[in-house]
Chain A
Amino acid sequence: NAGVMQNPRHLVRRRGQEARLRCSPVKGHSHVYWYRQLPEEGLKFMVYLQKENIIDESGMPKERFSAEFPKEGPSILRIQQVVRGDSAAYFCASSPLGQGYNSPLHFGNGTRLTVT
């Protein structure tokens, strides 16, 4: 049984470039969550998606960040015009049940973004 798969594991971008982070949830899970872990900080919620819908994006920065979870394929977190402050580990988690249910999250191993 494959867990949450994220790729790439490491991503280096120059300032101003775009970063695309991909997340394939556990097979059969239709709920995806993205969290960001800045150096020496705990994880912070960014966005919650179901297939083809953004349910809660209250943790997403207002500009440059977007997320999608299409009907087919992985969830994508996209960061446009990256800045040094975007350097962090980005984790994806999935769940078979929605946010109203008692179903703990299981995380992938993350994508470590470095902006130079």
Chain B
Amino acid sequence: QKEVEQDPGPLSVPEGAIVSLNCTYSNSAFQYFMWYRQYSRKGPELLMYTYSSGNKEDGRFTAQVDKSSKYISLFIRDSQPSDSATYLCAMSHPFQGAQKLVFGQGTRLTINP
């Protein structure tokens, strides 16, 4: 079993829809949770960074962490064609190093105009 599970998709939605992306994990020691966006042939770009449980909002993006369920989500409101990319969840814990990230496989998202 992988430490971090993420549905690879692909996921295709119309422009303006609300997108929900999710990851589950098995290691209860994870405390730092991140979402990265990766365009084709580019490096991962940090979108959201949260510590422990709760919600964090940044513009059209909301990240949620539910440590009791070992489940994290990224919501994208008013989705735009420019949001079409692969979204990677990543997490880490301080005992192994906060920057030693464990990534999900990534979900390929397409927003259709």
List chain A positions with a Cβ less than 8 A from chain B: 4, 6, 31, 33, 35, 40-45, 48, 56, 91, 93, 95, 99-110, 112
Contact = CB atoms under 8 A, between A and B. Distances in A.
A40 B8 contact: yes
A48 B96 CA distance: 11
Enumerate the 7 nearest inter-chain pairs by beta-carbon distance, A residue then B residue, closest first.
Answer: A99-B97, A42-B103, A107-B43, A109-B43, A43-B103, A42-B105, A104-B49
B43 A42 contact: no
Determine chain B's interface SS by DSSP, over half rule: loop
Interface of B: 4, 6, 8, 32, 34, 36, 41-46, 49, 51, 88, 90, 94, 96-106
Contact of A102 (B6, B32, B42): B32
Contacts of B99: 31, 33, 48, 93, 95, 99, 103-105
A103 B101 contact: no
Contacts of B45: 107
A99 to B, nearest CB: 3
Contact of B98 (A44, A101, A107): A101
A95 B97 CA distance: 12
A8 to B, nearest CB: 13
B51 to A, nearest CB: 7
A18 to B, nearest CB: 24
B34 A42 contact: no
A55 to B, nearest CB: 8
A43 B100 contact: no
Residue of B42, B49, B98 with most partner-chain A CB within 10 A: B98
A67 B90 CA distance: 23
Contacts of B36: 107
Contacts of A48: 97, 99-100
A33 B100 CA distance: 8
A104 B34 contact: yes
Contacts of A110: 42-43
B21 to A, nearest CB: 13
